[in-house]
Amino acid sequence: MCLAVPGKVVAIHEGADPLTGLVDFGGVQKQACLEYLPDVRVGEYVIVHVGFALQKLDEESARASLELFEQLGLLEEEFGDAWEQAERQGSGVENR
């Protein structure tokens, strides 16, 4: 299943064609196309679906959605091992 997942824009690749940036989804960072939101700024939250940022979102709504997705196991389904690895790194548990 592909979800529209909220994430925080942490970098924008100015001059890229199409416009792209790095988006953080609660510890997992992925490249996303920002072409549909040319006025987005670093630090803002966006909803990303299949690699495209489609809409801006306020921080409170983004965090609530990420928390719910995590509780339901949907982030694991969407991000797989990368999500688990980021969670382990955040808690200080090393991969063995």
Question: Which domains does the chain possess?
Answer: 4-91 (2.30.30.140)
Start-to-end C-alpha separation, the chain:
29
Residue 1 has what pLDDT? 47
Residues of the chain with confidence (pLDDT) below 70:
1-2, 75-96
What does the pLDDT read at residue 21? 97
pLDDT at 41: 97
Spatial separation of the C-alpha atoms in residues 45 and 53, rounded to whole Å: 9
